[in-house]
């Protein structure tokens, strides 16, 4: 069975990308830097706007807007994963590959699939923006979104979308579907 993805040129999408067996690859700033460079290189060749993003130890949440004539986010994610893996694997231990991954030439860095969600309206955008930025608090990594270093939260504070104390006193009320479609 072929997995079908929703594609709409120029749209915004929410993504969750997870490491293989939820290994904490991004627990060190060096690995985060490798990922950020991989994303930047892909953006230069295949432009897209990162509306919001958080890099957690074992997964990434990101919201992108694609160019008006483009629907190809799968290739972008493939190129990002490949670029990260090429730079990361030579100097870091990764788990042994099972027969299926060996047959496909895959490393044990990423889960094969990722979650994507087409952003449908302003309410959907806002809910996912808050879900992304509150995620480090929800996982118990920090007590306030402003304290997580691998997030676009402070960019949104600078734009005036949030107060810097947002999410530090109480959890935002998010729709049940935000981040869990």
pLDDT in tens, 156-175: 999 999 999 999 988 888 88
User: Which sequence spans correspond to the domains of the chain?
Assistant: 12-158
pLDDT value of position 100: 47
Q: Between the CA of residue 130 and those of 58, 160, 164, what are the distances in Å?
A: 19, 14, 13
Name the pLDDT band for 21 (thresholds 50, 70, 90).
confident
- The residue among 140 and 93 whose pLDDT is bigger is 140
Looking at the predicted structure, is the pLDDT value of residue 131 above 50? yes
Q: Tell me the mean pLDDT in the region 130-141.
A: 96
Please report where in the chains the tokens 């990423």 appear, as a residue.
110
Confidence at residue 20, expressed as pLDDT on a 0 to 100 scale = 87
Return the pLDDT at 108: 63
Helix axes 29-45 and 73-88, enclosed angle (nearest 10)? 140
pLDDT, tens digit (0-9, with 9 covering 90-100), for 54-111: 999 999 999 999 999 999 999 999 999 999 998 888 675 555 555 444 445 555 689 8
Instruction: Name the CATH architecture for the domain at 12-158.
Output: 2-Layer Sandwich (3.30)
How much is the pLDDT for 105? 52
Minimal CA–CA distance to 59: which of 14, 103, 19?
19
Contacts for 22-27: CB closer than 8 Å, 24+ residues apart: 22/58, 22/59, 23/58, 23/95, 23/108, 24/57, 24/58, 25/57, 25/58, 25/88, 25/92, 25/109, 26/55, 26/56, 26/57, 26/58, 26/60, 26/150, 27/57
Could you tell me the pTM of the whole model? Answer: 0.88
- CA dist 67 and 71 (Å) reads 8
Pairing of strands 12-18, 49-55: unpaired
Per-residue pLDDT, 93: 59
Q: Which two three-digit tokens encode residue 28?
A: 């060190």
Is the pLDDT at 1 greater than 50, yes or no? no
């Amino acid at each position: 069975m072929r997995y079908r993805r929703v594609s709409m040129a120029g749209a915004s999408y929410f993504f969750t990308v997870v490491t293989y067996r939820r290994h904490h690859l991004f627990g060190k700033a060096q690995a985060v830097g490798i990922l950020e460079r991989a994303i930047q290189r892909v953006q230069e060749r295949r432009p897209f706007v990162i509306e919001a993003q958080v890099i957690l130890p074992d997964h990434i949440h990101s919201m992108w807007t694609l160019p008006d004539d483009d629907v190809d986010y799968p290739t972008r994610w493939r190129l990002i994963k490949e670029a990260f893996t090429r730079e990361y694997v030579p100097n870091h231990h990764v788990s042994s590959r099972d027969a299926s991954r060996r047959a496909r030439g895959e490393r044990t860095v990423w889960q094969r699939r990722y979650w994507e969600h087409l952003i449908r309206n302003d309410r959907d955008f806002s809910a996912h923006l808050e879900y992304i930025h509150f995620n480090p608090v929800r996982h118990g990594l920090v007590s306030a979104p402003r304290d997580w270093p691998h997030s676009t939260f402070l960019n949104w504070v600078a734009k005036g979308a949030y107060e810097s104390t947002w999410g530090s006193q109480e959890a935002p009320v998010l729709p049940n579907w935000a981040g869990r479609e």
